Every structure is written in C-alpha cells, then in structure tokens.
Amino acid sequence: MNRFAELLDRLAYEPSRNNKLRLLTDYFRSTADPERGWALAALTGALSFPHAKPGLIRSLIAERADPVLFELSYDYVGDLSETVALMWPAAPANPSAERPEDELSLTRVIETLATLGKTQLPRQLAQWLDALDETGRWALIKLVTGGLRVGVSARLTKAAVAALADQNAHHGNVPEINAREINAHDIEMIWPGLAPPYRELFAWLEGRADRPTSSDPAPFRPPMLAQALDDADLSGLNATDFKAEWKWDGIRVQAVAGKQDGYPAGALIKRLYSRTGEEISKSFPDLLDSLRLPGAIDGELLIMRGGRIQTFNVLQQRLNRKTVTAKLMAEFPAHLRAYDLLADGDEDLRERPFAERRTRLETFVARLAEPHIDLSPLIDFHRWDELIAARKNPAAWGAGADAAAVEGVMLKRRDALYLPGRPKGPWWKWKRDPFVIDVVLMYAQRGHGKRSSFYSDYTFGVWTRGEQGDELVPVGKAYFGFTDEELSQIDRFVRRNTVERFGPVREVVHEADRGLVVEVAFEGLQRSSRHKSGLAMRFPRISRLRWDKPPAEADRLDRLEAMLRRIEQGHLEGQTA
Amino acid sequence: MTRPEDILVPSPSGVCCKLGGFHIDPTRPVERAVITHAHSDHARAGHGAVLATQETLDLMRLRYGENFAGMTQAMAYGESVNLDGTKITLHPAGHVLGSAQVAVEANGLRVVASGDYKNVADPTCAPFELIRCDLFITEATFALPVFHHGDPDAEIGKLLHSLTLFPERAHLVGAYAIGKAQRVIALLREAGYRAPIYLHGAMQAVTDYYVKRGGALGELRLARGAGKTDLAGTITLCPPSALNDLWTRRFPDPLAAFASGWMRVRARARQQGVALPLVISDHADWNGLTATIAATGASEIWVTHGQEDALVHWCAARGLKARPLDIVGYGEEEEESADTAASEANALPLGAGIRDDGGA
C-alpha cells in the first residue's frame, strides 16, 4: 500500500505527462504480480467497492472529530479523502495492532474487501487508517471510495503499461513485439476481454505469453473525439477535404450488436455504451430492440417526438430517472442518430477512411430500416462561407424543425481513419456562438479540488423592478471560464468586498455603483420554477471581467426573457453583448 | 469595571487603542503605530510614529527606505513604555527575527495582541513567550485541524533526499524573504548540509541582515552570478512567485519546492506548480494555536486573519468568549513576495555581511 500511495502522491504533483508515464512504467516494471495488476485496475477505474461510500468515511471521521471543524476543514481542503487523511487522529499505541514490518499490501486490501461483509467494513477500514500515515490514509480512502483523481487517465495508464514492451523489445527475444511497437491503442483493443489483476496482459507485454484475445462479441470501442475549432483555424483548412454534419445536442453513444458463439443463429448480444465505455443498455431498452444487425454504430442519443428531435432539456428529463417505465419510454422515446459505423458484421471498419465508412453506414441504416435509428444528415456545402451560413441558421440549411437540437457543426476529413482519443486535424467541432450578458456578482463560494481556498463559484444576478425600485435577482451560477489570474483577482475582490458570510458562502457588495460586473456566456435558456428569476441558463461561464462597467449598467431580466422567447421560436443564433 | 473593549477596539484598519492613542499593525497610515513584525501585511510605510523592536525597524528600513515613518522608537523584549495611561510591553512571538507580541495594560487588565506567532523552535529568532492575559488576540492562518506542521527536520530531509535522487537538477525552494528563507538555510546547516546555498537577489538584503545579527548561515552565493552547469544539484532560495518565473530558465531542469504551511494541502501545492512541497511554517499549527490560547488563561479571544470561524467555534466549545475580527489586508505575505521578486534586477551586489560570514 505504501508504494502505491507513494506513486499516487508523486503522480498528483507531477505536471509533465512524460514524467507521469515514467513514474507509472517504473512502478509497473518494479512491482510484482498481482500487486501491479490491482494497481492497474485501480488506476483505470476497473475496481469498485459498493459498500465503501463517501458516507461511510464521513461517519468514521464523525466519530473522531468535531462536526463543525470537519465541515470547515472539508470546505477548505476541498477533498473528502484528503480532509479525513489529514484530520484522522494519531492512533494510540496498540500492541495488538499490525506491526510496522507487517506491510499492508494493495493486494491484501483488495482481497480483504472482496470478501468482507458490509457490517465489518467500518472496523476494518478504521484499523487500516490507524496503521497508515497521512499519504497512505489518503490513498486508501481514494481507492475504496473510487476516483483516484491524480491527473492520470485510464489511457495514460495503459500507455505506461504498453511501454513495458519497449524494454522487452530491446532485448529482442519476442518476434511479435519486435515487429510492431505496442501502444495504448493495442491495449484498448483487447481491454474488454481482460480482468484484474491482468496477469496475461503483463505476461504478453513481457514476452512470456501470446497476445490475449478478446472474446466479447459486443465490445466497446474507444471513441474518436473532435478538436474544438476556432474561427481562425478555418482559413488553414480546405473545404473540399471535409464533410460536415450537425452537432447534435444529445449524448454520444455506441450501439453494438454481435453474434455470441454457442447461441442459436440470429441471437445477438446487444449493448449501448456511453462515450466513456459505461454500459447504459438498461436505461434504453426501447432502443436496444432496434439493433437487429451485427455491427457497431457511433451516434447521438436523442429524444424524438412527433418526428421532431427534442432539445437537450427534454432528453435530460429521461436521463435523470432511475427506473425506466413504459410511460417514460412512451413520453420520451429514445432515438439514435447515426454518424459513423465502426464495425459491419465481423468486419472492423475503423481503419477505413470516413467517406467509405459513411457510405457503409448509409447502407447499414437502410438495411436496418428501424424507425428509432436514422442517419445524421450531411450539410450540403462547398465553400466555407456556405458552412458559416449553415452554422448561423441550421433551420434554413437542412436541419429544419430539428434545428432546436443543433449546437453547431462537425467537420470530418473525408480521409479520416477512426482513431481513438482526440487527434488534432481529422475531426473538428464548431459550436455556435454562445449567448452573452453582463451580470453583477452577488455571492461567492469557495471551490473544491484544484480551486480549494479560492472563491471560485459565483452566483450572479441581473436587474429587475422590485417593490423598492430596481433590485438584483439571481439568474445563475458559474464556476469556470476565467484564467488563473482572473480567479485570483475575483478572489481578492470577494475577500475585500464581503458584506456578509453564510458558512462557506460570502455575499459580496452589489449596489448600483459598487460591485463587480462580469460578462457571462451560456449555451441556452429555459424556464425554471426553481429559480426566483423563472429562468435557468445552460452551461454558463465567465467570459470576461468588466472592471470598467458600473453595476447599474449590467443587463436587465427583460433582456433574458426576450432571448428566451427567441430561442423558443427557433431563432437560435447567439449574440455578442 | 474596565472591559477589554475599553483598552482595544477593532477597526477595519487594525486594532486601535483609544486610551493610548495608537494602532497595532494598522493597514492604513496612522499617527502612532505599534508594529509586531516586519512582514509587509503587518508593517506598512507612512505612519507618523512607529514603536517596534530594533530588528523590526531595521527590516522595515531595508524594505521601505530610511523615511518609512515620521519617527521610530525601538524597544527590547520585556521593556515597557507608558502611553497616556496604558503600559505597553513587547514579548517574543517566535514568528520571525524581531517579531513581538504586544501586551497592553490599563486599569489592571492585560490584553495581548500576538501578531503572527509560532510556539516551536526556530534557530533564527527568539522563542515564543507565553504571556498570561485577560484578552488574547490570536492569528488564525492555519486554524483548521488539518494543519499539523510536523517536524521541519523531516521536511528538510525530503529536500536533501531529492537532491540525491536528482543530482542533475537545480532545486529551487520558494520561501518568504523575511524569516522563512533564513530558517530553511539554518535548518539545512543543522542537518549537516555544507555546500554553498544560492540566493535569489530579492533574498539578499534581508539574509545579509540576519547574518549580521549573529546567525551564521554558511556559504551563501547569489544565483545570478553562477553558470548554469554549476547550479546542477544545488539549492537556491527564492521568493515563491519566482518559482514559475522566467528567472528559473537559468537553472538546469529546475525542480520547484516550496517551504510553507500551505503545502499540507495538495490543492495549494498544485495551484503553485510545486513538485516538492515542504511543510515548514512560521505560524502555529492547529495544536499550537489551541494549546497557546488555553495556556494564556484569557477568558476572551479575538481571532484575526485566516480561518477565524474554526477557532471561534473551538473557543466557544470551551466556554471562552470569542469573536472574529474582520480586518482587511492581513495574511497576504504571498503577494508580498511578488513585489520582492520583481526587484531582483535592482538588487545590490553581494553584501559584505554575507561574504564575511561565508563558511562560518
């Protein structure tokens, strides 16, 4: 546990990707099975301990610390595991406790947790926490509650594991590995068929065994993501190299069907995955039925009602439900808008150019002939000015009644292979311009994680007529969009202009002539009964600090209401203040 | 009967003694000021008259120039003066060289304004002296039970270990220019580190002064004069803000360390781009604060700059009357270092004091 904790600790402070890779690879090389396999599982998020909830950790500390002091500390530190690790009282010397040389291994923690009953868990955890130092406690709590968050993605970890083969290739004792360098992508390909502690994977990488084969008939394939496009990028690109589609405001999914060996002919394993590979089949049984042909579709999950794609607001009402009832499915019918085909039957299409995959996709969707699955249409453009016009007015450029669910355009190179990750160049996303308004800062709260100790969560308001003249009404919250420098400026402003404190929240001065005006950008507006203003913004963020503007000149609620009416009428284009 | 409020009253620009006609550590220019220590958030220029220890006055002069105040009066620890019916005595606060607690007595009541303090050993300043009093004004910089500063020698050990792990990298240690930098150097020497220690130019004048006051710090050199290859595997002290500055380009593969109590919290270390956090603080930690408050015997506690809420809560739970003071402008030593970092270009050549005591 100590070595693993040390690794996490160093990773957490190491900013450089290359140094993180080095630290990880060194760890995997110098640690034996099965310990390193469990570490790999922990770092790739493959482990879960259903009984070890953050609530359990909270109750353990509640037995040992003043609740008010705990809350203040947690608010300051911004991370539950770290707060508890730091506050955990020094254990009284106990002769029956584990001797220090009796080192607690990661393997022992995981194996113990696998068999431990729910009622025994609190005592066992407390005993381990007593035995560990601050770093060890921090790592243990992170591990069991899930979410290590040390700035290492599953993919980076796999790249580090893959690098074990490099070392081996240098020894030149395995022809297969010499012939082809192994990278994270190769590991992703076989990952769905592997399970912790991954002995066969390490054996293959170290040249002691053959490549493990995946036997999953309906695996998740790591998705290809698009880079954000700036207007300036466009001039360097050639319009004839690209196809364009609408960027749909739903959730990205992968719909996979595959033949299972040993099952009757025609029986398919069907699965729906989220962008991160989480299986979400159970939430969308209505869509699953439609996957009648073996293959893998990459597309957008949307709600289709009366032949019209609904906005994200509508989709959200279905997403937030725990159980899927017939009524819910009837009211919010799931729809898959397909934009790529990764596999057709047994054939992997990912190494084919996009233009060819698109043709295959069109045939595949036609063969399916399912009302709940259709094609994401291509935008008919030949020059960039045409695409610019289409992005401004999707309804007039083919999106028609579905324009309310369009949040921009996607550009895909005709020759783009399907590459996992976010390669720069082949795919671009170009969101429509956001809406912006000038608001007045009213309340600020300290952030969590990287932002802890900074006032980084802001509630802001606009003017409206009240009983005693103009008053500010809160219209939203934002906690990103600013630079580090701007954050420290706002933080200083908050600390120096606090008029009242409510626990972690500070009310800051907001009068007609005193206060801070900020420009807020947002993606959409909807009516909301939960907010006093009757409005809720989508994806609001700080776009500019307006030190120059007196609060009296910030926007009024009327302006937001006018925007909302325009949005509801399908006029979607954002505007600059 | 006299109440503590009759002796001292909090105001937005610092604690004020109406009876004696002076402020303690005022954040705006006033006629008469008593200054606890030389950090810029407590010691500002432009007051009519300043009463402080000789060291504090000297350090203020180094920072602000000769005319930082209309007139000055130096007082030794334990010495007293009477100001309009109040008796003022300075006692060591253990925070940095010259730091003092201010005891104010009138009508049989004693109030102690501690300024910043720490109750652990520091080779570069006089140890904290506990003064029993009726009202104690405490700082609250690290007043949360997550702050345990631990053993500074162990943190120095981490730094020395890193030097052996990365002998090709220059180790830059961010440290406040007054107090922390000199303490880190002294701790390194106590740990047996004999190699020359390099300084950022902004550290020079103050370090020079520390050496002059009798604290031998071994051989010190300015980083500015050294060649890049000479700096491999060395330790350089610099203001925290210099850690992410262009200034670091003169070093081979620099590794950023930061000696501060804030380093206990990961997010704080990460925000500063620190790869080697060293938990070394010149403030009392949670246990230090609570133990000191209890030991003063004060029945009333005023809490200022930092995590006031937690300490007020702790006091209330023990039946002590406690209130937070909302004084704007304290606890910004980190910003202070940004100014000093910028001043390296204007720093003077290596001072005589450093050279004379070099290697001693």
Q: pLDDT digits over A187-220, tens only?
A: 877 887 789 999 999 999 999 999 887 777 888 8
Q: Do A86 and B148 touch (CB under 8 A)?
A: yes
Tell me the C-alpha to C-alpha distance, in Å, between residue A170 and each of A27, A180, B118: 19, 12, 56
Contact A203, A209 (CB under 8 A): yes
Exposed, middle or buried: residue A227 (CB in 10 Å: 0-12, 13-18, 19+)?
Answer: middle
Report d(CA B89, CA B107) in Å as an integer: 15
- For A228, phi and psi rounded to 5 degrees? -75, 140
- Residue B339 is predicted with a pLDDT of 36
- Inter-chain residue contact A69 with B328, CB threshold 8 Å: no
Query: Which residues in chain B are contacts of A484 at CB distance < 8 A?
Result: 271
Any idea how long chain B is?
360
What pLDDT does A94 receive?
55
Total beta-carbon pairs less than 8 A apart between chain A and chain B: 72
- Residue A513 near residue A552, CB atoms below 8 Å: yes
The secondary structure of A498-566 as a DSSP string is: EEEEETTEEEE---SSSS-EEEEEESEEEE-SSSTTSEEEES-EEEEEETTS-GGGS-BHHHHHHHHHH
**Does A68 sit within 8 Å of B265, measured CB to CB?**
no
Q: Which residues of A touch B (CB under 8 A)?
A: 12-15, 65-66, 68-69, 72-73, 76-79, 82-83, 86-87, 449-454, 484, 495-496, 498
Distance separating alpha carbons of residues A336 and A372, to the nearest angstrom: 6
Cβ atoms of B307 and A501 closer than 8 Å: no
One-letter amino acid for residue A247 of the chain: K
Chain B residues touching residue A454 (CB < 8 angstroms)? 271
Residues of chain A with C-beta less than 8 angstroms from the C-beta of B144: 69, 72-73, 76-77
Closest CA to A402 of A318, A307, A330, A314: A307
Task: Write out the residues of chain B at the interface with chain A, using a CB-CB cutoff of 8 A.
Answer: 144-148, 264-271, 273-277, 307, 309-310, 313-314, 317, 326, 328
Among B247, B246, B193, B241, smallest CA distance to B222 is for B247
Q: Cβ contacts (< 8 Å) between B143 and chain A: which residues?
A: none
Q: Quick one: pLDDT at residue A374?
A: 96
Which residues of chain B are within 8 Å of residue A68 when distances are taken between CB atoms?
Answer: 310, 313
By percentage, how much of chain B surpasses pLDDT 90?
A: 69
How distant is the Cα of B282 from the closest Cα of chain A, in angstroms?
19
Q: Which residue of B has its CA nearest to A83?
A: B146
- Residue in A72, A82, A498 closest to B144 by CB: A72
Q: How many CB atoms lie within 10 A of CB A556?
A: 16
Measured between CA atoms, the residue of chain B closest to residue A19 is B275
Q: How far apart are CA A132 and CA A136, in angstroms?
A: 5
The angle formed by the CA atoms of residues A170, A174 and A180, to the nearest 5 degrees, is: 75
- Tell if the CB–CB gap between B328 and A496 is shorter than 8 Å: yes
Residue showing tokens 């999707």: A394
Name the closest residue on chain A to residue B310, using Cα atoms: A69
CB contact under 8 A, B266 and A496: no
Distance CA A520, CA A129 (A): 44
* Contact across the interface for B265 and A82, Cβ inside 8 Å: yes
Q: Which residues of B touch A86 (CB under 8 A)?
A: 145-148, 264-265
Contacts A87 to B, Cβ<8 Å: 145-146
Looking at residue A102, what is its pLDDT? 63
What is the mean pLDDT of the segment spanning B248-276? 87
Torsion angles phi and psi, residue B300, rounded to 5? -130, 135
* CA nearest to B264 within chain A: A86
B279-317 pLDDT, tens digit per residue, is 999 999 999 999 999 999 999 999 988 888 999 999 999
Beta bridge partners, B72, equal B50
In this structure, the strands spanning B255-259 and B276-278 are: parallel
Among B142, B148, B165, B265, the strongest candidate for a mutation testing the A interface, having the largest count of A CBs within 10 A, is: B265
Task: With beta carbons under 8 A apart, name residues in chain A contacting B268.
Answer: 452-453
Q: Encode chain A (577 residues) as per-residue pLDDT tens digits.
A: 888 998 998 888 877 788 788 889 989 999 999 999 999 999 988 888 888 888 899 999 999 999 999 999 998 898 888 999 999 987 665 555 555 546 799 999 999 998 888 899 999 999 999 999 888 999 999 999 877 778 888 889 999 999 998 765 544 444 444 444 787 878 877 887 789 999 999 999 999 999 887 777 888 888 999 999 987 888 899 999 999 999 999 999 999 999 877 666 668 899 999 887 778 888 899 999 899 999 999 999 999 998 899 888 788 888 877 788 999 999 999 999 999 999 999 899 999 999 999 999 999 999 999 999 999 999 999 999 999 999 988 989 999 889 888 989 999 999 999 998 888 899 999 988 889 999 999 999 877 655 656 788 999 999 999 888 899 999 999 988 898 889 989 988 998 898 988 767 899 999 999 999 999 999 888 888 877 888 989 889 999 999 989 999 999 999 999 888 877 765 555 543 3
CB-closest option in A86, A451, A484 to B264:
A86
Looking at residue B343, what DSSP letter applies? G
Q: Which chain B residues contact residue A76 at CB under 8 A?
A: 144, 146, 265, 307
For residues A544 and A61, give the distance between their C-alpha atoms in angstroms, rounded to a whole number. 41
Q: Do B266 and A66 touch (CB under 8 A)?
A: no
Rounded to a whole number, what is the distance in Å from the CA of B313 to chain A's nearest CA? 8
Q: What is the pLDDT of residue B359?
A: 28
Q: Of B267, B274, B275, which has the smallest distance from its Cβ to A450's Cβ?
A: B267
What is the token pair recorded at B314? Answer: 């702790």
Res. B262: pLDDT tops 80: yes
Question: Are B277 and A13 an interchain contact pair (Cβ–Cβ within 8 Å)?
Answer: yes
Mean pLDDT of B164-184: 92
Optimal mutation site among A13, A18, A484, A487, interface B, most CBs of chain B within 10 A: A13
Nearest residue of B to residue A485 by CA position?
B271
B99-103, B223-227, B350-354: which has the highest mean pLDDT? B99-103
Q: Are A278 and A146 in contact (CB under 8 A)?
A: no
* Residue B137 pLDDT greater than 50, yes or no: yes
Question: To the nearest whole number, what is the mean pLDDT of chain B?
Answer: 87
Identify from B144, B253, B258 which residue to disrupt to test chain A contact, counting A C-beta atoms within 10 A and taking the largest count.
B144
B84 or B126: which leads in pLDDT = B126
| Torsion A29-A34-A38-A40 (CA) sign | positive
Contact state of A13 with B271 under an 8 Å Cβ cutoff: no
Mutation for A interface: B41, B241, B290, B309, most A CBs within 10 A:
B309
Beta bridge partners of A300: A252, A337
Q: Nearest-CA distance from B315 to chain A in Å?
A: 12
A268, β-bridge pairs: A259
A77 and B267 in contact by Cβ < 8 A? Answer: yes
Task: From chain B, pick out residues whose CB is under 8 angstroms from the CB of A71.
Answer: none
Shortest alpha-carbon distance between residue A473 and chain B (Å):
27
Cross-chain residue pair A66–B271, CB shorter than 8 Å? no
pLDDT of residue B334: 41
3-class secondary-structure state, position B152: helix
**pLDDT at residue B207 tops 60:** yes
